[in-house]
């Protein structure tokens, strides 16, 4: 019996265990390869429940990746014209794989709107939380100067990234013209980036009491969270800085940013995600003079099948 898939699984787990840097996907993470590995394990007499447990323990899941780098760097500038609060939509994923079913409306009742689905990709996702992990990578810096305390740290930085997700309201939203990655970064002109973009999509929300650290992401309903702080820039950092942030479905929910790394947490967002959703990465800057200069970004979404 072929053992290449099992060897790949073992090698993957060893590499994941050794690496200090987040383990990035390779061809072994293709959905067909994961399915092949599952069948090999089942062929050795293991029940499917045990097989899934093994794959979850090894974090051996398919991945969809969005890598964004434009011809030139993009900058979110906080100016009077932007209301001293700049929002730059820098990166957006394709709709996540699996079977998307529109949420029924009052008009649908028990009709077609609540039962008809649309497959994205070729495989059904599994589990209560189909998305298991998201790895973000950003390469960025702020304006490089400051008159405030905190230079060289993440304290007092008003240049950062935030994440939100959108859910299609209908099948047409994901089958119509190009719902996927951006051709270019888009300046969000509204002071509040809540329902700014496409009426065919709605913001994904999680129940969250209170507001985020330093009131960066207030919502009209304090128990409805629609924006997650991902990563701050180094305060007055003049060099490009690479940041990795990993959010897992069983990790810590959103809370205060880690002052030593500038990273936020977002397991509550990961658990909310469903097939058809897309993830947006927004570069932010707030208060006069602040900028978020972005060279590139990556979003790697791991999901279970």
Split at pLDDT 50, 70, 90, the class of 199 is confident
- At 201 the pLDDT is 92
Vertex 195: Cα angle to 242 and 174 (nearest 5) = 80
Split at pLDDT 50, 70, 90, the class of 111 is very low
Contact of 226 with 204, CB cutoff 8 Å: yes
Give every CB contact of residue 15 below 8 A, 6+ residues apart in sequence.
23
The whole-angstrom separation of Cα 216 and Cα 210 is 12
Task: Give 204-256 pLDDT, tens digit per residue.
Answer: 999 864 444 445 554 555 578 999 999 999 999 999 999 999 999 999 999 99
Supply the mean pLDDT for the chain.
85
- At 32 the pLDDT is 94
Task: Give 116-161 pLDDT, tens digit per residue.
Answer: 789 899 999 999 999 999 999 999 999 999 988 889 999 999 999 9
The whole-angstrom separation of Cα 46 and Cα 56 is 15
- pTM, two decimals, is 0.86
Q: What letter would DSSP give residue 147?
A: S
| Distance (Å) of CA 260 to CA 89, 189, 203, 233 | 26, 32, 30, 12
- At 19 the pLDDT is 43
Compute the 3-state secondary structure of the chain and give helix, strand, coil in percent, each to the nearest 5: 20, 30, 50
Split at pLDDT 50, 70, 90, the class of 162 is very high
- At 227 the pLDDT is 96
CB burial readout 241-260, b (16+ within 10 A) else e? bebbbbbbbeeebbeebeee
Q: How far is CA 38 from the centre of its chain?
A: 26
């Amino acid at each position: 019996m072929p053992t290449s898939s099992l060897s790949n699984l073992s090698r993957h787990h060893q590499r994941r265990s050794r690496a200090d840097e987040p383990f990035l996907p390779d061809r072994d993470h293709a959905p067909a390869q994961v399915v092949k590995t599952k069948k090999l394990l089942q062929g050795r007499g293991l029940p499917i429940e045990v097989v899934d447990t093994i794959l979850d323990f090894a974090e051996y899941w398919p991945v969809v990746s969005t890598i964004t780098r434009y011809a030139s760097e993009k900058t979110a500038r906080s100016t009077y014209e932007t209301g001293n609060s700049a929002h730059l939509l820098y990166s957006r994923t394709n709709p996540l794989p699996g079977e998307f079913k529109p949420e029924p409306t009052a008009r649908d009742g028990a009709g077609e709107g609540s039962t008809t689905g649309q497959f994205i990709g070729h495989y059904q996702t599994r589990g209560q939380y189909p998305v298991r992990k998201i790895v973000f990578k950003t390469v960025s810096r702020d304006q490089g100067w400051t008159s405030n305390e905190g230079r060289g740290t993440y304290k007092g930085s008003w240049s950062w990234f935030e994440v939100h997700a959108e859910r299609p309201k209908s099948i047409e939203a994901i089958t119509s013209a190009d719902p996927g990655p951006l051709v270019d970064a888009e300046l969000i002109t509204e002071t509040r980036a809540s329902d700014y973009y496409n009426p065919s999509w709605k913001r994904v929300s999680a129940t969250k009491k209170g507001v985020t650290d330093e009131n960066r992401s207030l919502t009209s309903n304090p128990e409805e969270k629609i924006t997650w702080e991902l990563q701050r820039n180094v305060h007055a950092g003049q060099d490009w800085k690479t940041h990795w942030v990993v959010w897992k479905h069983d990790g810590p929910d959103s809370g205060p940013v880690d002052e030593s790394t500038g990273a936020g947490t977002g397991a509550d967002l990961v658990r909310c995600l469903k097939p058809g959703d897309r993830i947006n990465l927004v570069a932010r800057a707030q208060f006069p003079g602040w900028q978020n200069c972005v060279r590139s970004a990556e979003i790697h979404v791991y999901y279970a099948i």
